[in-house]
Homo-oligomer: A and B are copies of this chain.
Amino acid sequence: MTFSLTVLGSNSAIPTLIRNPSAHLLNANERLFLIDCAEGTQIQLRKYHIRFQRIRHIMISHLHGDHFYGLIGLLTSFHLLGRKDELHLYGLPLLKQIIDLQLEASDTTLNYPLIFHDLNSEGVHQIYEDDHFEVHSFPLVHSVPTCGFLFREKKPERNYLSGARSFAYCSDSMYAESTIGYVKEVTLLYHETTFMQAMADNARQKFHTTTIEAANIAMKANVKKLMIGHFSARYEDITPLLEETKTVFPNTIAAVDGLKIDI
């Protein structure tokens, strides 16, 4: 059963010519989930040859622009390209207001059903379930209300040898012991790593995480693999961030726009 992640943006805050801000495509048994949707995401989807009308669910972790400014453009393109299939949007309540206001401004009535699901940034909540997967949201510690997401394969019935795979997404967050509990033993943990350890003060001030801090969360949660991303635009080459993370948690990879990995 397919369970793969494609990175559509590995930068934080502002887009550069080499890295777009946050967006990730998760394929869970051929159902496509878009997780965050920065400006330019629809271009990234085209660039990496993803048939984006197949996306059925979009989750927005929080309302900082580098995680959702590409959403209204993508929703509009779905409409202009004749989409009829329903789309499920998961976000904090203000997101609906932002989308509605912009559709109203352009006098647009979408020709497909857009179903909005309120996220609750306090506590753990199941937000999706089908025969093979379930998704929960959990709270992260950031300067604005922010949700992480946990995708978990249901226990495979026939093959007792292979465990259920899982993916946890921690978009923007400062180092928090609470996160460890939410992402315990996942197959793949994506955790933001905006800064090198030398900028730990800066990271804390801005409610972001460093390389070593992300590695510590991965280690304490005993995850199989860590992916770091959401890099500050100040780092042209992200090799040093990867190397520093690996000193604590060796099984780490770095997000790169266009990278696709099986979970």
Contacts and interface: CB of A to CB of B under 8 A. Distances in A.
A74 B73 CA distance: 15
A102 B65 contact: yes
A143 interface: yes
Contacts of A39: 39-40, 42, 69-70, 73
B17 A144 contact: no
A77 interface: yes
* Most B C-beta atoms less than 10 A away, residue of A17, A70, A81, A105: A105
A258 interface: no
A51 interface: no
Nearest to A65: B76
A16 interface: yes
A169 B142 CA distance: 43
B98 A102 contact: yes
Interface of A: 13-17, 39-40, 42-43, 46-47, 63-65, 69-70, 72-73, 76-77, 80-81, 94-95, 97-98, 101-102, 104-107, 143-144
30 contacts: A14-B42, A14-B80, A15-B42, A15-B43, A15-B46, A16-B46, A17-B43, A17-B46, A17-B47, A39-B42, A39-B69, A39-B73, A63-B105, A64-B106, A65-B73, A65-B76, A65-B102, A65-B106, A69-B69, A69-B72, A69-B73, A69-B76, A69-B102, A94-B101, A94-B104, A94-B105, A95-B105, A97-B101, A98-B98, A98-B105
